[in-house]
Amino acid sequence: MLTPFLLFPQLCLFADYEPLVFLKCPFSLTGHLAFNETRVPKRCPDSPRITFNVSYHLPKYVHDFYNILDTGDANCPKEILRLTPPPFSGNCSAETFAPLTTVSGLDASFKFEKLPSWSVNLLHRLDHLVSAVVPRRVQTLNITDHLDVHIKTTRWNSDTDITINGGTIWIPTRYNYNEKLHHPKKNSIDYGFTSMCSLVNNKLTTFHDRIIQLTPELRQDFRANDTFLLAADCSDSPKLAVFMLDNAKGIQIYTGGNYVVYEIANQQETDPILNINDEQLINLRNVVYQYPPDEEIYDFRVYLDDEDVLILENQLNGAVVQYDRKSIASILLPTVHKGRMCGLCSTRIH
């Protein structure tokens, strides 16, 4: 559904946005921009109008490649790509999965209706410029009426093909946009604003970027009944604790005075059940659970994202817990809180 935004009295934007979801759907932005004087207050003008449809996508072979991919490394399984950002560390680097996560194409179309003369003149100049650099001889590309742009790259060479209204320009260079590696959350980690701890099967990467192979002896030092402590806020006012159940049976999270438990046993993919304090069972399919309920300011909320990853957002300290509902988990934490944390994620054992 297009949502109108009245940017200025003479400018109105209708837009609908869908993010790129790995293995499911491309990024898309559709809508139109209208600008003109209107006699009705807070009403968008009908024309002039620019209608747009922009999308970018991963390579077409991604689904087939992902299905047959076997890294042969339990510490670097393909399933880490479901988390955002994926817990890359050590020999498990983003380059290993670059063919699956690098954007290979962008498609954009613009249609112009009843534009003012100054806009048409600018489009005429753009038409002459592009027509002059297109390898084949063309008189006009009709850019004043519409603009269709298709940008295509391939993993196997360093070229970029840009097609504008049917005229193709070849550029001997390319810009690689990795949808997972260049995600804003990953940038926040790279710049030091966010710290991440992850557990991939038995490989632990701490908040201090140390890689530790978990052993029964190491788990024993952080054991609590049938769980072991991955990370906890050990300040005077604890706001978060994350425990992993033994034998990769699930996850238990303490936050906002509540225990949130997800156990793999007896779970069905279609009906993922969350246990709240042994008092309430929540089916997370198409549901966002938050506490306190129906409040604008809440302590935490839990949901399944578009890639079926269990997400807990803790508003008390800004932490985000991700769990693939099998054997991969990560904790994103504002770096300013890292010094308060204890547990395996804060250990400095080499």
pLDDT of residue 267: 63
Element spanning 265, H or E: none
Q: Nearest-CA neighbor of 214 among 329, 332, 72? A: 329
Amino acid residing at 241:
A
Calpha distance 339→53 (Å, rounded): 46
Below-70 pLDDT ranges, the chain = 1-9, 38-42, 155-156, 266-270, 348-350
Is the previous residue joined to 135 through a cis bond, with omega within 30 degrees of 0? no
Calpha distance 337→79 (Å, rounded): 28
pLDDT of residue 3: 54
Structure tokens at 110: 């613009």
pLDDT of residue 35: 82
Token look-up 């479901």 returns: 82
Q: Which residues touch 32 (CB under 8 Å, ≥6 apart)?
A: 2, 13, 14, 49, 50, 51, 52
Judge whether 34 and 44 are in contact, CB under 8 Å.
yes
Structure tokens at 201: 């099967």
pLDDT of residue 136: 74
pLDDT of residue 199: 97
Alpha helices in the chain (DSSP H): 62-68, 98-101, 117-133, 184-190, 216-220
Q: Nearest-CA neighbor of 104 among 161, 23, 25? A: 161
Structure tokens at 317: 């300290």
pLDDT of residue 303: 95
pLDDT of residue 39: 66
pTM for the predicted model, two decimal places = 0.83
Q: Which residues touch 117 (CB under 8 Å, ≥6 apart)?
A: none
Beta bridge partners of 32: 14, 51
**DSSP state at residue 293:** T
Judge whether 48 and 206 are in contact, CB under 8 Å.
no
Own/partner pairs, 287-295, CB within 8 angstroms, 24+ separation: 291/256, 291/258
